[in-house]
Structure 1
């Protein structure tokens, strides 16, 4: 099980957050499951659009997180708002908003510790290169380097 998530900022430095129907006790960075045949980059862009109605540009990966309880892996991207109007996704998100996140108010928005860590890492880390490719013969599809 591989998921992706995005630390997305707007022109004023606010961070995109969503409240999911099945985790209504917390806000979180938008994202979801990678579909078969989809690159990680394609998945995060699609999931953010589905959950929030906006289009984003991503720059690179800021972290990889493995849930040892469920076996799930989440790859975190950093990016920025490109276009569109915020909206929620019926049956999935109940809220989508840009918020000014500080050390002082972070826990007011994100109540789950493992989700707070992802946001802090994404905000404070450099991106590492991300590459999507095919082999036999080698075909570079896309490389992100901030």
Structure 2
């Protein structure tokens, strides 16, 4: 019997707030009914932290720095693992690619009004988890050959007033 590797997709997204505490959210052509955090699928062999930076930049025009993971989620129907990062702003202004993104903007959301913007329950819980996160899950990316080599590590503990 031969081994067949699992066929799963890994997606990443990032929670980014501006100085006023507003969250950068977007709407896509294929999910017009909801706002969501920017992100997308990880390419084969791509470190998760690099993937979230790439996807965020592609969708918003903004350069971010991931500072930690706020949650890991599973969609068993589509065999997708979702990883949500908290991020810091580095540079850039909102500049969307209209073929993919309908709209991107900073929105003031909280537990009371989140349902007005984020209509899908799985996206709502991920966003709330990211908003409330006081500690982040450490993340490492390793290059295994020719020698074990640490590519990146994210580990940051913060206390947020939520």
TM-score by length of 1: 0.96
CA drift at 1:98: 0.8
State how 1:6-85 maps to structure 2 within 5 Å: 6-85=14-93
User: Alignment partner of 1:78: what SS?
Assistant: strand
- The residue that corresponds to 1:100 in the other structure is 108
User: Alignment partner of 1:25: what SS?
Assistant: coil
Q: Which 5+ residue runs of structure 2 have no aligned equivalent?
A: 1-8, 157-162
Give a deviation string over 1:40-65, Cα, whole Å, max 9, x none. Answer: 00110010111111111110111111
Give a deviation string over 1:6-64, Cα, whole Å, max 9, x none. Answer: 01111222111010110000000110000122110011001011111111111011111
User: Alignment partner of 1:24: what SS?
Assistant: coil
- The residue that corresponds to 1:138 in the other structure is 148
Residues matched between the structures, number: 146
Per residue, is there more strand in 1 or in 2? 1
Task: Say whether 1:121 aligns with 2:135.
Answer: no
CA drift at 1:134: 1.7
Say which structure, 1 or 2, has more relative contact order (CA 8 Å, 6+ apart): 1
Distance 1:88 1:107 in 2: 24
Distance 2:35 2:64 in 1: 19
Structure whose alpha-carbon radius of gyration is higher? 2
User: Alignment partner of 1:118: what SS?
Assistant: helix
User: Alignment partner of 2:94: what SS?
Assistant: coil
**Where in structure 1 do 4 or more consecutive aligned residues deviate above 3 Å?**
none
Give a deviation string over 1:81-125, Cα, whole Å, max 9, x none. Answer: 221110221221110111111112101110000000000111112
TM-score by length of 2: 0.87
User: Alignment partner of 2:53: what SS?
Assistant: helix
Distance 1:15 1:80 in 2: 12
